[in-house]
């Protein structure tokens, strides 16, 4: 790749790195990629040709890591590919473009001075002080302002959003955006909505852990298994006492599956059962009916007596309680 030249001798030159790199990029850039970026930034002053293999040897990094780093830096717009190689972009200029993008209606100063946004301005000030040590990049102000408008979060929810991402060491835009999207899909707008959401998630977590333990599953549940549990607890509104009845019916199965549990619970939901007593009464009634049919078959000597009417249920409820 061809890197641009700087005329200063090596002994008297220095490599400048804008502060905005630390506020905008360092948290979301893997360590090896930072190493590649800093070295290419240093080399860009001398206008020499440099090959990927040379970078790999000089930085003592695998060739694949160098290639992945360059792609990452391109995606983040830190470097731009040209016919002759790459150019190191001016990240201060990039942030300036973000700040004055036509989609954004408010600058940080305007936001602070607007009377009707005083609570929002206070929330952004809290975010700046709590998560950015008071040196939040100006472009964050515009992003937060945009998220307020897009998601209609109240101020407490916006602060909670940043705290959630900060506690997971993921305080970068893509992750924050993903979490905000998830919260919006769950109709979160106020802090009370968020409390209810957290309670629901905690309930799901406890139920998932209980189900895994009872089924002898030591691995993390898959996305599809978690979706089943969401369905039973949220859509069907079933508590653990009903799910427990279904779990007991897997005791004679060598490899009990979530699909089998789902068939049971869906059948109960279709029958409008909402309590464990209703489910248990149904199972007892069914057990008695099956017993009566077998006694009738035995007396009549006709083993297939109306068996076709019960095939599906017999297959589903083969494991008797």
Name the H helices within the chain: 19-24, 31-43, 52-59, 63-75, 91-99, 108-113, 118-131, 138-151, 155-167, 173-185, 191-215, 223-230, 240-248, 258-270, 276-300, 311-316
Complete DSSP assignment for 24-71: HTGGGS-HHHHHHHHHHHHHTTBT-B--HHHHHHHHT--HHHHHHHHH
Return the pLDDT at 6: 52
Ranking 47-61, 108-122, 231-245 by mean pLDDT, the lowest is 108-122
- Distance, CA of 296 to CA of 164 (rounded, Å): 63
**Could you tell me the pLDDT band of residue 312, with boundaries at 50, 70 and 90?**
low
Q: Quote the pLDDT of residue 3.
A: 56
| For range 41-58, the mean pLDDT | 79
Dump pLDDT digits (tens) for 139-197.
888 889 889 989 999 999 999 999 999 998 888 888 999 999 999 998 999 999 999 99
Percent of the chain with pLDDT over 70: 79
102 has a pLDDT exceeding 80:
no
Least confident interval from 2-11, 36-45, 103-112, 272-281: 103-112
Distance between CA atoms of 156 and 248, rounded to whole angstroms?
43
Higher per-residue confidence, 205 vs 27: 205
Confidence at residue 263, expressed as pLDDT on a 0 to 100 scale: 92
The whole-number average pLDDT for the span 107-130 is 72
- Of 82 and 63, the structure prediction assigns the larger pLDDT to 63
Q: Helix axis angle, 191-215 relative to 155-167, nearest 10°? A: 40
What is the pLDDT averaged over residues 190-214?
Answer: 90
Question: What mean pLDDT value characterizes the chain?
Answer: 81
- Residue 131 reports pLDDT greater than 60: yes
In 44-154, alpha helices (H): 52-59, 63-75, 91-99, 108-113, 118-131, 138-151
Note the pLDDT of residue 126. 92
The more confidently predicted of residues 163 and 306 is 163
* Banded model confidence at residue 117, pLDDT cuts 50, 70, 90: low
Q: Could you tell me how far CA 276 lies from the centroid of its own chain?
A: 33
Closest CA to 70 of 32, 43, 97, 44: 32
* CB 79, CB 70: distance < 8 Å: yes
Round to whole Å and give the CA distance between 63 and 145: 41
pLDDT recorded at residue 115: 47
Q: 158 near 148, Cβ under 8 Å?
A: yes
**Residues linked to residue 82 through DSSP beta bridges, in sequence order:** 85
Residue that wins the pLDDT comparison between 135 and 321: 135
Between 54-63, 88-97, 99-108, 274-283, the lowest mean confidence (pLDDT) is in 99-108
**How many whole angstroms separate alpha carbon 122 and alpha carbon 188?**
21
Distance CA 98, CA 194 (A): 30
Give 22-26 contacts, CB < 8 A, sequence gap 24+: 23/132, 23/135, 23/136, 23/137, 24/91, 24/95, 24/137, 24/139, 25/76, 25/78, 25/91
- What percent of the chain is predicted at pLDDT more than 90? 27
- Residue 58 is predicted with a pLDDT of 85
What local confidence, expressed as pLDDT, does residue 41 receive? Answer: 81
Query: What dihedral do alpha carbons 50, 52, 57, 63 form, nearest 10°?
Result: 170
Condensed to tens digits (0 to 9), the pLDDT of residues 230-283 reads 899 888 989 899 999 999 888 766 677 899 899 999 999 999 999 999 999 999
Q: Which residues contact 66 (CB under 8 A, 6 or more apart)?
A: 36, 52, 55, 56, 59
Higher-pLDDT residue of 253 and 223 is 223
């Amino acid at each position: 790749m061809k890197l641009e030249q700087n005329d200063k001798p090596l002994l008297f030159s220095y490599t400048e790195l804008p502060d905005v790199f630390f506020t905008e990029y360092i948290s979301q850039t893997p360590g090896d990629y930072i190493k590649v970026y800093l070295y290419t930034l240093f080399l860009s002053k001398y206008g020499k040709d440099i090959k990927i293999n040379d970078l790999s040897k000089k930085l003592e990094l695998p060739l694949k890591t160098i290639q992945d780093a360059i792609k990452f830096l391109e995606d983040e717009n830190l470097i731009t590919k040209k016919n002759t190689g790459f150019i190191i972009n001016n990240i201060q200029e990039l942030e300036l473009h973000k700040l004055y993008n036509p989609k954004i209606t408010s600058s940080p100063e305007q936001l602070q001075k607007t009377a009707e946004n005083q609570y929002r301005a206070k929330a952004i000030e809290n975010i700046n002080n709590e998560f950015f040590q008071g040196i939040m990049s100006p472009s964050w102000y515009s992003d937060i302002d945009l998220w307020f408008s897009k998601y209609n979060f109240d101020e407490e929810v916006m602060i909670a959003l940043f705290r959630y991402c900060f506690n997971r060491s993921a305080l970068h835009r893509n992750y924050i955006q993903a979490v905000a999207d998830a919260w919006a899909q769950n109709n979160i707008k106020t802090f009370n909505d968020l409390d209810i959401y957290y309670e629901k998630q905690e309930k799901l977590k406890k139920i998932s852990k209980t189900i895994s333990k009872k089924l002898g599953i030591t691995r993390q549940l898959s996305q599809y298994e978690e979706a089943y549990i969401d369905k039973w607890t949220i859509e069907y509104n079933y508590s653990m006492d009903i799910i427990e009845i279904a779990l007991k019916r897997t005791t004679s199965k060598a490899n009990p599956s979530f699909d089998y549990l789902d068939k049971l619970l869906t059948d109960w939901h279709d029958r409008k059962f909402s309590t464990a007593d209703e489910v248990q009464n149904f199972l007892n009634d069914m057990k008695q009916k099956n017993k009566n049919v077998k006694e009738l078959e035995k007396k009549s000597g006709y083993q297939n007596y109306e068996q076709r009417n019960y095939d599906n249920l017999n297959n589903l409820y083969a494991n008797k309680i």
